[in-house]
């Protein structure tokens, strides 16, 4: 256990942290407490992402999530996520965590938001007691994603070419050596582009890790740095990537989604192609 360095004498000897992955210095602590009130404890969450470190904060004003990134690429993503959540603050159409604050330091960025007492769909599927329970979860996932794709939100720029922008970003990551994809795959994506379809609001990284379940239903989007106007086929491909081999779970998703079905070419273009660069 790594203890916080405390700045209030009455806290000395109080175990505020469990498994803290980095030092919360007094300046950061002070900035966080402007929103949370006096912090009682900070716990490292069991479920951690690839791009950030996530802690639960128990404080005077309630429970919070502190999401922190350190690598330049991931700090950029976290800043974008903070901007998305801030723009969506107070709306009720798109279920996302409630934005509290965003803090930038010299070598780390931090996003503070509400703590949501839910589990990821990945965990819910793993813990499900029956196939029917899994099918119910995937159907609710399809419903939530279909609802997002049907939302015309004024909080986003609708005058963009999403795929063109993503290919430019993919090439930048490729040249920097920051992705799994290679030059051969990138050129193949450019040459064999898919026919255009109408863009919708998308999540942008809609895997089963990035949606949350409560009371047996998928009900919340998290990790929304990629939420923008774009190609909905990308979301569907990532939503199905872990269950595509299971025809019953795939069918359950489509029963809830009700908008279109991916061809194998479309699935491979996004899941085994574009996603390799992110």
Q: What is the pTM of this model?
A: 0.89
**Do residues 13 and 125 share a domain?**
no
- For residue 110, being part of any structural domain is answered with yes
**Do residues 123 and 107 share a domain?**
no
Domain boundary among 114, 144, 177: 114
**Do residues 220 and 182 share a domain?**
yes
Q: What is the CA radius of gyration of the chain?
A: 20
**Do residues 142 and 270 share a domain?**
yes
**Do residues 131 and 219 share a domain?**
yes
Q: 217 Cβ partners below 8 Å, 6+ apart?
A: 137, 140
Domain boundary among 96, 114, 132: 114
- Count other C-beta atoms under 10 Å from residue 79's C-beta: 16
**Do residues 173 and 212 share a domain?**
yes
**Do residues 129 and 63 share a domain?**
no
Phi-psi region of 19 (alpha: psi -120 to 50; beta: other; left: phi over 0): left
Spell out the per-residue pLDDT of the chain, length 278, in tens.
333 433 443 343 344 544 455 667 788 889 999 999 999 999 988 878 778 999 999 999 999 999 999 999 999 999 999 999 999 998 999 999 999 999 998 889 999 999 988 999 999 999 999 999 999 999 999 999 999 999 999 999 999 999 999 999 999 999 999 999 999 999 999 999 999 999 999 999 999 999 999 999 999 999 999 999 999 999 999 999 999 999 999 999 999 999 999 999 999 999 999 999 99
**26 lies in which domain range?**
9-114
Residue pair 236/209 in contact (Cβ under 8 Å)? The answer is no
What is the predicted pLDDT for the residue at 5? 36
- For residue 149, being part of any structural domain is answered with yes
Distances (CA, A) of 174 to 14, 167, 171: 47, 10, 5
pLDDT in tens, 50-82: 789 999 999 999 999 999 999 999 999 999 999
**Do residues 64 and 80 share a domain?**
yes
**Do residues 154 and 214 share a domain?**
yes
Residue pair 85/96 in contact (Cβ under 8 Å)? The answer is yes
Q: How many domains are there within the chain?
A: 2
Residue pair 19/55 in contact (Cβ under 8 Å)? The answer is no
What is the predicted pLDDT for the residue at 27? 87
Partner residues linked to 258 by β-bridges:
none
Which CATH number does the domain housing residue 39 bear? 3.30.200.20
């Amino acid at each position: 256990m790594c203890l916080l360095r405390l700045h209030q004498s009455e806290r000395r000897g109080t175990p505020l942290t469990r498994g803290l992955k980095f030092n919360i210095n007094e300046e950061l602590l002070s900035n966080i407490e402007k929103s949370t009130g006096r912090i009682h404890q900070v716990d490292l969450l069991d479920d951690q992402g690839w791009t950030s470190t996530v802690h639960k904060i128990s404080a005077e004003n309630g429970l919070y999530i502190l999401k922190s990134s350190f690598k330049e690429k991931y700090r950029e993503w976290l800043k974008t996520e903070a901007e998305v959540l801030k723009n969506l603050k107070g709306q009720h159409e798109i279920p996302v965590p409630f934005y509290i604050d965003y803090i930038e330091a010299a070598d780390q960025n931090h996003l503070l938001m509400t703590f949501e007492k839910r589990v990821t769909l990945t965990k819910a599927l793993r813990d499900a007691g029956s196939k029917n329970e899994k099918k119910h979860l995937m159907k609710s996932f399809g419903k939530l994603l279909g609802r997002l794709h049907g939302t015309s939100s004024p909080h986003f720029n609708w005058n963009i070419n999403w795929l063109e922008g993503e290919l430019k970003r993919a090439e930048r990551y490729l040249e920097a050596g920051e992705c799994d994809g290679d030059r051969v795959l990138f050129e193949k994506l450019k040459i064999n582009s898919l026919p255009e379809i109408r863009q919708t609001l998308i999540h942008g990284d809609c895997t089963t890790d990035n949606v949350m379940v409560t009371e047996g239903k998928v009900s919340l989007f998290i990790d929304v740095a990629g939420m923008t106007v774009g190609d909905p086929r990308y979301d569907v491909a990532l939503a199905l990537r872990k269950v595509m081999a299971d025809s019953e779970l795939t069918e359950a998703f489509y029963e809830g989604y009700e908008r279109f079905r991916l061809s194998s070419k479309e699935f491979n273009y996004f899941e085994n192609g574009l996603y390799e660069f992110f």
